[in-house]
Amino acid sequence: MDAVNRSDDALRQRADYYTRIGNHHMTPLWEVLGALVPPQPRPPVLPHLWRYAELRDQVMEAGRLITAEEAERRVLILENPALRGQSSITQSLYAGLQLIMPGEVAPAHRHSQSALRLVLDGEGAYTAVDGERTTMRRGDFIITPAWTWHDHGNLGDQPVVWLDGLDIPIVRFLDAGFAERSEQQSQTPLRPEGDALARYGANMLPLDYEPRPSDPTRVFVYPFDRTQASLRAIAKGTPDAHHGFKLRYVNPATGASPMPTIGACAQHLPAGFETRGVRSTDGTVQVCLEGGGEARLSGPSGEHTWRFGPNDVFVVPSWHTLQLRADRDSVLFSFSDRPVQLALGLWREERL
């Protein structure tokens, strides 16, 4: 009984001590050390699948409720179920489905956040980046680097939808966000379409161009037809057991990621191919561009199995094992914060 009394007395003394130090805005490390320095990642993010066929009507409804000019950007954010209200699909990344209707313009602005666009649905829209337009075609991977002027317009006769991916949570965490609206609704074209791709994306560079390794790419569009051609060419070989045929997008001038905070990849899985399990520390957003199949995830949040098809989006949290099986020839696009983790020496992968 004396031992119990001494234990209760010790607990009361500790509780009183914690209250007193709390008044000085301090807290004991030993009470939270296990959560701060876990033996392996314990992401609060949950795996989730967004089926585009189920979302498209809601996306189109937004086009009837608010104009692109009113909204500035008419986007439905894909919020992770565990991060509601935080405008985040992972702890470090944002994703959303943006709609632009025929004849509309999403006004020019710029911001500290880096952004990517992946065209999913419709034809006739364009994106302009620092005075150069590019026509948006399905599967095209388009970049608006940090603090570059950009606007979007739809010169066609059908709605166009693309997936936005931004580093908003990273910039928000660092309290480094700035934004500015242009006095012009649309940028005046300064260069013909395709100029940046010709100057910086054809294994040649302007004579006086000396980029730093951390500079974002000047190639702001990676056409899907080029991606498909590269994947088809390497698919003549033997697939990697964990990734099939997978390539990462790079800044052609430096070999680094196109953006310092977001990395992106394209992956081809032959019909019937099944990958072995792989997990990594970068939470990843996956998009099916062609084909379809099954995704199996396992990790701290449990076991998950989904069927996926064209335009479906799913998120793989940090340190969750992913296995993919293709029902038919499939192409997937993915993006993550891997460049940040690599720069900080944090990225880790385990192939099972």
What pLDDT digit, counting tens, does each position of 13-44 carry?
999 999 999 999 999 999 999 999 999 999 99
pLDDT at 215 over 90: no
How far from each other are the two terminal CA atoms of the chain, in whole angstroms?
Answer: 52
Confidence class for position 1, pLDDT limits 50, 70, 90: low
Residue % of the chain over a pLDDT of 70: 98
pLDDT at 88 over 60: yes
Query: For domain 43-351, which CATH number applies: 3.40.50.720, 3.90.78.10, 2.40.110.10, 2.60.120.10?
Result: 2.60.120.10
Name the residue with tokens 């952004």. Answer: 115
Sheet holding 221-222, edge to edge: 75-77, 94-100, 160-166, 115-121, 141-144, 221-222
> For 221-245, what is the HEC assignment?
EECHHHHHHHHHHHCCCCCECCCEE
Stretch 93-111: mean pLDDT: 97
Produce one character per residue of 44-71: b if its CB has 16 or more CB atoms within 10 Å, e if not: ebbbbbbebeebbeebeebbeeeebeee
Name the residue with tokens 């980046």. Answer: 129
Structure tokens at 305: 């199995």
Stretch 48-62: mean pLDDT: 98
**In this predicted structure, what is the pLDDT of residue 213?**
81
Label the pairing between strands 48-50 and 141-144.
unpaired
pLDDT at 64 over 80: yes
- What rounded mean pLDDT belongs to the chain? 96
What pLDDT digit, counting tens, does each position of 133-175 carry?
999 999 999 999 999 999 999 999 999 999 999 999 999 999 9
Confidence class for position 2, pLDDT limits 50, 70, 90: low
Say how far residue 115 (Cα) sits from the centre of its chain: 9
**In this predicted structure, what is the pLDDT of residue 5?**
67
Which is higher by pLDDT, 67 or 50? 50
Which residue, among 267, 320, 315, has the nearest Cα to 289 in the 3D structure?
267
Comparing 1-5, 58-62, 234-238, which segment has the lowest mean pLDDT? 1-5
Confidence class for position 112, pLDDT limits 50, 70, 90: very high
Stretch 110-132: mean pLDDT: 97
**In this predicted structure, what is the pLDDT of residue 214?**
81
CA dihedral 287, 63, 182, 111 (to 10 degrees): -30
**In this predicted structure, what is the pLDDT of residue 62?**
97
What pLDDT digit, counting tens, does each position of 328-345 carry?
999 999 999 999 999 999
Residue pair 200/217 in contact by the 8 Å Cβ criterion: yes
Integer Cα distance of 225 and 329 in angstroms = 16
Those residues with Cβ within 8 angstroms of residue 251's Cβ, 6 or more apart along the chain or in another chain: 211, 215, 216, 217, 218, 219, 257, 258
Count of CA atoms in the C-beta half-sphere (13 A) of 313: 25
Stretch 214-239: mean pLDDT: 96
pLDDT at 178 over 70: yes
pLDDT at 85 over 90: yes
CA dihedral 113, 114, 120, 125 (to 10 degrees): 90
Structure tokens at 6: 């001494």
What pLDDT digit, counting tens, does each position of 260-309 carry?
999 999 999 999 999 999 999 999 999 999 999 999 999 999 999 999 99
Produce one character per residue of 102-133: b if its CB has 16 or more CB atoms within 10 Å, e if not: eebbbbbebbbbbbbbbbbbbbbbbbbbbebb
Structure tokens at 165: 């991916």
